Amino acid sequence: MQAASSIGTSLDFYLFVSFALFTIGAIGAMTRKNMIVLLMCIELMLNAVNLMLVTFSTYYGNGDAQIFVFFTMVVAAAEATVGLSIIIMAYRNLKSIDIDMYNQLKN
Amino acid sequence: MAKDLTLLFILALPLIGFAINGVFGKKLPKAFVGGLATGVVFIAFLLATTLFSGLHGTQIVKLFNIIDFDGLRINASFQIDALSIWMTLIITGIGSLIHLFSMGYMSHDEGYHKFFTYLNLFIFSMLILVLGSNYFVLFFGWEGVGMCSYLLISFHYNDAQKGEANSLAGRKAFIMNRIGDVGLLLALFMLIGQFQTLEFLQIGKALNDNAILQGGALFFITLCLFIAATGKSAQIPLFTWLPDAMAGPTPVSALIHAATMVTAGIYLTVRSNFLFELAPATKDIILYIGLATTLLAAFMALRQNDIKKVLAYSTVSQLGLMFVALGFGAYSVALFHVTTHAFFKALLFLGSGSVIHGMHEEQDIRQMGGLAKLMPITHFTFLIGTMAIAGIPFLSGFFSKDEIMAQALHHNPTIYVVLVLAVTMTAVYMFRLYFLTFHGTFRGGDTLKSKVHESGTSMTLPLIVLAVLSVFGGLLNLPGLFFKNAAHWFDHYLSHGTMGLDQVHNAHLSFTTSMALMIFASTIAIGAFAWAYLTYAKKGNIAKADEAQNGWERLSAQKLYVDEIYNSIFVKPLLALSDFAGKVIDIQMLRNGVYALADGVLNTANLSRKWQTGFLSNYLFWMVFGLITFVAYYILKLSVWH
């Protein structure tokens, strides 16, 4: 397949940004305790993937992936809604949104 | 009434009595319970007499099919022939008398209804045993009587002093019988293997058609049958349970352990005569086992001081005598002795029961003496029983025993001599028992003496009936000397109506030999009577205390230490083995093994449980770790490819 030239900067740049965003999101999700930050980190990872999808879509001149990105964004919006509601409910229980406080479910 | 219906009624009546007394007995009045139990057996007896009078040939009554697969058909069917009806008459006749006796004997017992329930169940099982037309039905009855025997021996299992001994006696009887039962089961399996049927008639017919079986199969079949017989009929080596079985109430000893159940082994052998006739080796074994039993048991009875124990050993001895007759192939002679023995041994046991009842549960003859005046009817009937078993001329025991002696003399004079020894001992210990109990002075103390009383009518009536039977029982099978036409009625009756027995002919001795035999036998009995009279009544000797015994007396009183020998040979090694199995195999190996397995599972589970921390960041970490590993793997894989 022939690489499309419509993309201005090089492909590597987009991939690097996407990778960086994903890594920041993943590390943030692993290390941060605040649930809202956690949610933000997950959003970050999702958008990193979106970026990569769009990049390749443009690169190959195939629009399928761009359609897929819309789905991802809709799912992400729904996920944020559910996630935030869970956080509110959790906060009502323990007056805290520290994720480490919620390890009691295992017992 | 049709024959088959009559037969079914005979079987059903005791079962009905058992069911009613077993379910409602506790709430019913005692008179009704006892009356019902006695009544059903007596009606069964009357029905059996109608069958007896209308008897000709063999008739099979089939009830239903039990097993039917792969060419093997076993029916619940019953057989009406001379042998089975004769046994039925004995069982129901003697049985109803003993039921009647029990109504008086057990009147103060709180387990009254239970007792009659068991007795009826026993009669039912015994009837199944003798009426069955195949070995399977016989086996059913065989197990049934074994169970009833166990239940009745340990009847007073919660007695304060003797309860444990009673239970142990019951257990011993049960285990000993089980050893014999294994023999019967093996014989059944081998019979099925050889003949594909268990029906008496079909096996007999198959043997007639092709008489020779391969590989000594008949020897093993008959040997196993005989092992079964030694268990039920208390022969060496399985006889030790019978004296212990005297722990049961006395009517039980009379009914089960003297008159009926213990003759099941004899019945089995007579019933299987067509097998035994083709296995002469087994017949020899029977002969010598019977001989040894009759001799040893008679010896043990010489110095027993428990009134029931003497009778128990005497029963073992008489059963041995019957097996000697069977060993000679004189089946009708053995069964004749079974009949007269049922009369006089039931009489003696019931008499001893009456004595024990009057003596307020005292069984030691050293505490008795002079009871003749206190209990006249018991005394008189007991005397008749004693004379009958000892072989005083013209009483029933004289004829039946003389027949066996005659067979022995005809076949093997040495065995005759040994039998003379046994018979002499029989007369001696029986008269010793009689004189010690009923003559001399009362040794139980004055308080007890004032309480001794003659038993009530329900107890003395059976005694009188049995005494009459004991006197005249010999008329059934008179020897050919005096009454040419009436003689050997029983032989003819049995051999014409029972399969196989018409092929067997008893030996008949010449006039002079028979005469000499009878005179000799009479001399022995009368001599023993005179000796016992002089020793125990005239001189007033009494039985020694246990410590004063020496030499052979101790040997006899201690039953030749057979129990002790069995204990050290069989019981103790078995206990040690159980101990080993319990402590080493079970606890150390099995239990600890199972524990180790469970611990292993638990430990691994505990280890892997730590993985589940509950911290989201940990899960995320492992997720990313997995992702990276996954990606790294493919990158490596691709780079290796290219």
* Structure confidence by residue, pLDDT tens digits, B46-59: 999 999 988 877 88
Chain A residue with Cα closest to B624: A26
- CA dist., res. B349 & res. B255, Å (int): 9
Residue-wise pLDDT for B106-126, tens only, equals 888 888 999 999 999 999 999
Q: Return the H-helix or E-strand segment holding B40.
A: helix B30-53
pLDDT confidence bin for B136, thresholds 50/70/90 = very high
Pairwise pLDDT comparison (B361 vs B124), residue with the higher score = B124
Task: Output the pLDDT for position B16.
Answer: 94
DSSP assigned state of B263: G
Domain with A42 in it: 11-106
Pairwise pLDDT comparison (B361 vs B46), residue with the higher score = B46
Question: Which of B615, B620, B624 is the closest to A100 by Cβ?
Answer: B615
Residue B600 to chain A, least CA–CA distance (Å): 22
pLDDT confidence bin for B429, thresholds 50/70/90 = very high
Give percent of chain A with pLDDT exceeding 90: 44
Candidates A23, A27, A30, A107: best to mutate against B (most CBs of B within 10 A) is A30
Residue-wise pLDDT for B497-553, tens only, equals 777 777 777 777 777 888 888 888 889 889 989 988 888 877 777 766 777 777 777
pLDDT confidence bin for B642, thresholds 50/70/90 = low
Instruction: Give residues with Cβ within 8 angstroms of B467, minimum separation 6.
Output: B347, B380, B381, B384, B385
pLDDT confidence bin for B473, thresholds 50/70/90 = confident
Chain B residue with Cα closest to A100: B615
Question: Which of A26, A31, A103 is the closest to B613 by Cβ?
Answer: A103
Q: How many CB atoms lie within 10 A of CB B122?
A: 26
Cβ <8 Å between B616 and A31: no
Picking from A66, A62, A23, A60, the residue whose alpha carbon sits closest to that of residue A44 is A23
Task: Output the pLDDT for position B594.
Answer: 92
Q: Is the pLDDT of residue B67 over 90?
A: no
Mean pLDDT is lowest, of B289-293, B331-335, B453-457, B471-475, for B453-457
B/e letters for B448-462, b = 16+ CB within 10 Å, e = fewer, are ebeebebbeebbbeb
Q: Are the C-beta atoms of residues A55 and A89 closer than 8 Å to each other?
A: no
Q: Find the mean pLDDT for residues A51-77.
A: 90
Q: Which residues of chain B are within 8 Å of residue A26 when distances are taken between CB atoms?
A: 620, 624
Q: Find the mean pLDDT for residues B411-432.
A: 92
Q: Is the pLDDT of residue A20 over 90?
A: yes
Chain B residue with Cα closest to A33: B617
Task: Output the pLDDT for position B108.
Answer: 83
Candidates A102, A103, A105: best to mutate against B (most CBs of B within 10 A) is A103
Within a domain: residue A40? Answer: yes
Q: Find the mean pLDDT for residues B131-139.
A: 93
Q: Which residues of chain A are within 8 Å of residue B613 when distances are taken between CB atoms?
A: 103, 106
Q: Find the mean pLDDT for residues B441-454.
A: 81
Task: Output the pLDDT for position A1.
Answer: 40
The interaxial angle of helices B396-411 and B307-327, nearest 10 deg, is: 40
Q: Find the mean pLDDT for residues B606-625.
A: 83
Q: Find the mean pLDDT for residues B461-469.
A: 92
Within a domain: residue A4? Answer: no
Q: How many CB atoms lie within 10 A of CB B498?
A: 25
Q: Find the mean pLDDT for residues B184-197.
A: 90
Task: Output the pLDDT for position B446.
Answer: 79
Q: Is the pLDDT of residue B481 over 70?
A: no
Q: Find the mean pLDDT for residues B358-364.
A: 84
pLDDT confidence bin for A59, thresholds 50/70/90 = confident
Helices marked H in B479-615 — which ranges?
A: 489-497, 511-532, 552-557, 562-566, 572-580, 592-609
Within a domain: residue A1? Answer: no
Question: Which of B612, B621, B624 is the closest to A106 by Cβ?
Answer: B612
Q: Mean pLDDT across chain B, nearest whole number?
A: 88
Q: Are the C-beta atoms of residues B554 and B429 closer than 8 Å to each other?
A: no
Interface of A with B in 6-65 (CB under 8 A): 26, 29-31, 33, 38
Task: Output the pLDDT for position B294.
Answer: 93
Chain A residue with Cα closest to B617: A30
Residue B628 to chain A, least CA–CA distance (Å): 11
Q: Which residues of chain A are within 8 Å of residue B616 when distances are taken between CB atoms?
A: 38, 99, 102
Candidates B613, B615, B620: best to mutate against A (most CBs of A within 10 A) is B620
ipTM over 0.85: no
Cβ <8 Å between B621 and A99: no
Cβ <8 Å between B617 and A106: no
Residue B483, token pair as written in the block: 């009454």
Q: Return the H-helix or E-strand segment holding B63.
A: strand B59-69
Cβ <8 Å between A103 and B624: no
Within a domain: residue A2? Answer: no
Cβ <8 Å between B615 and A99: yes
- Decide if B621 touches A, using CB distance below 8 A: yes
Within a domain: residue A49? Answer: yes
Within a domain: residue A43? Answer: yes
Q: Is the pLDDT of residue B388 over 90?
A: yes
B132 burial via Cβ count (<10 Å: 0-12, 13-18, 19+): buried
- CA dist., res. B242 & res. B183, Å (int): 19
pLDDT confidence bin for A60, thresholds 50/70/90 = confident
Pairwise pLDDT comparison (B540 vs B10), residue with the higher score = B10
Task: Output the pLDDT for position B213.
Answer: 64
Q: Find the mean pLDDT for residues B157-171.
A: 88
Q: Find the mean pLDDT for residues B446-455.
A: 81
Residue-wise pLDDT for B72-90, tens only, equals 888 899 999 889 999 999 9
Q: Are the C-beta atoms of residues B321 and B419 closer than 8 Å to each other?
A: yes
Question: Which of B612, B613, B624 is the closest to A30 by Cβ?
Answer: B624
Task: Output the pLDDT for position A2.
Answer: 45
pLDDT confidence bin for A106, thresholds 50/70/90 = low
Residue A85, token pair as written in the block: 């509601």
Confirm whether pTM is higher than 0.90: no
Cβ <8 Å between B616 and A26: no
Question: Which of B612, B614, B620 is the closest to A30 by Cβ?
Answer: B620
Q: How many domains does chain A have?
A: 1
Helices marked H in A1-107 — which ranges?
A: 11-31, 35-60, 64-94
Cβ <8 Å between B614 and A105: yes
Interface of B with A in 575-614 (CB under 8 A): 612-614
Q: Is the pLDDT of residue B482 over 80?
A: no
From residue B197, alpha-carbon distances to A68, B208, B220, B283, B519 in Å are 83, 15, 17, 24, 48
Q: Find the mean pLDDT for residues B547-570.
A: 81
- Decide if B624 touches A, using CB distance below 8 A: yes
Question: Which of B615, B616, B624 is the closest to A26 by Cβ?
Answer: B624
Q: Which residues of chain B are within 8 Å of residue A102 when distances are taken between CB atoms?
A: 614, 616
Residue-wise pLDDT for B201-235, tens only, equals 888 888 877 756 655 788 899 999 999 999 999 99
Ordered by start, the domain boundaries in chain B are 1-278, 284-488+509-544, 558-610, 612-642
Picking from B300, B288, B525, the residue whose alpha carbon sits closest to that of residue B420 is B525
- Return the C-alpha torsion angle B268, B340, B535, B562, nearest 10: 10
- Decide if A68 touches B, using CB distance below 8 A: no
